[in-house]
Amino acid sequence: MSAQTQSVKRLTPPDIRARKGGEPLVCLTAYDAPTAKLLDPHCDFLLVGDSVGMVVHGLPNTIGVSLDMMILHGKAVMRGSDRALVCVDMPFSSYERSKEQAFDNAARVLQETGCQAVKVESGVYVADTIRYLSERAIPVVGHVGLRPQAALAEGGFKAKGRDEASRNRVIEEAIATDEAGAFAIVIEGVAEDLAQEITERVKAPTIGIGASASCDGQILVTQDMMGLFDWTPRFVKRYADLKTSMEDGVKAYAAEVRDRSFPGPDQVYKARKS
Ligand code: KIV
Asked whether residue 114 carries a pLDDT value surpassing 70, the answer given is: yes
Say if ligand 1 is within 6 A of residue 221 CB.
yes
Say if ligand 1 is within 6 A of residue 122 CB.
no
Output the average pLDDT for the chain.
96
Asked whether residue 274 carries a pLDDT value surpassing 80, the answer given is: no
Say if ligand 1 is within 6 A of residue 224 CB.
no
Asked whether residue 172 carries a pLDDT value surpassing 70, the answer given is: yes
> Reduced to 3 states, what is the DSSP secondary structure of residue 259?
coil
- Return the pLDDT at 273: 87
> What is the distance in A from the centroid of ligand 1 to the CA of 206?
14
Q: Which of 209, 243, 238 lies closest to 119 in space, CA to CA? A: 209
- The CATH classification number of 13-241 equals 3.20.20.60
pTM as predicted? 0.95
Q: Are 187 and 145 in contact (CB under 8 A)?
A: yes
Could you tell me the pLDDT band of residue 2, with boundaries at 50, 70 and 90?
A: low
- Return the pLDDT at 5: 53
Say if ligand 1 is within 6 A of residue 139 CB.
no
User: 6 φ, ψ to 5°?
Assistant: -65, -30
> What is the distance in A from the centroid of ligand 1 to the CA of 92?
13
CA dist 174 and 192 (Å) reads 15
> Reduced to 3 states, what is the DSSP secondary structure of residue 149?
helix
Could you tell me the pLDDT band of residue 4, with boundaries at 50, 70 and 90?
A: low
* Residue 247 bears catalytic tag: no
For ligand 1, atom 8, the nearest C-alpha belongs to: 49
Which residues are CB-contacts of 34 (< 8 A; sequence separation ≥ 6)? 80
Q: 11-60, pLDDT tens digit by residue?
A: 999 999 999 999 999 999 999 999 999 999 999 999 999 999 999 999 99
Beta bridge partners of 138: none
> What is the distance in A from the centroid of ligand 1 to the CA of 51?
6
Beta bridge partners of 217: 25, 207
Q: 98-108, pLDDT tens digit by residue?
A: 999 999 999 99
Ligand 1: residue of 28, 89, 225 to mutate (most ligand atoms within 8 A of CB) is: 89
DSSP strand pairing (140-145 vs 85-89): unpaired
Q: Which of 181, 94, 96 lies closest to 140 in space, CA to CA? A: 181
DSSP string covering 28-74, please? EE--SHHHHHHHGGG-SEEEE-TTHHHHTT--SSSTT--HHHHHHHH
Could you tell me the pLDDT band of residue 162, with boundaries at 50, 70 and 90?
A: confident
- Domain spans in the chain, listed from the N-terminal domain onward: 13-241
Asked whether residue 225 carries a pLDDT value surpassing 70, the answer given is: yes
Asked whether residue 6 carries a pLDDT value surpassing 80, the answer given is: no
Say if ligand 1 is within 6 A of residue 121 CB.
no
Question: Which one of 188, 200, 247, 256 is the catalytic residue?
Answer: 188
Ligand 1: residue of 146, 221, 229 to mutate (most ligand atoms within 8 A of CB) is: 221
Say if ligand 1 is within 6 A of residue 30 CB.
no
Say if ligand 1 is within 6 A of residue 186 CB.
yes
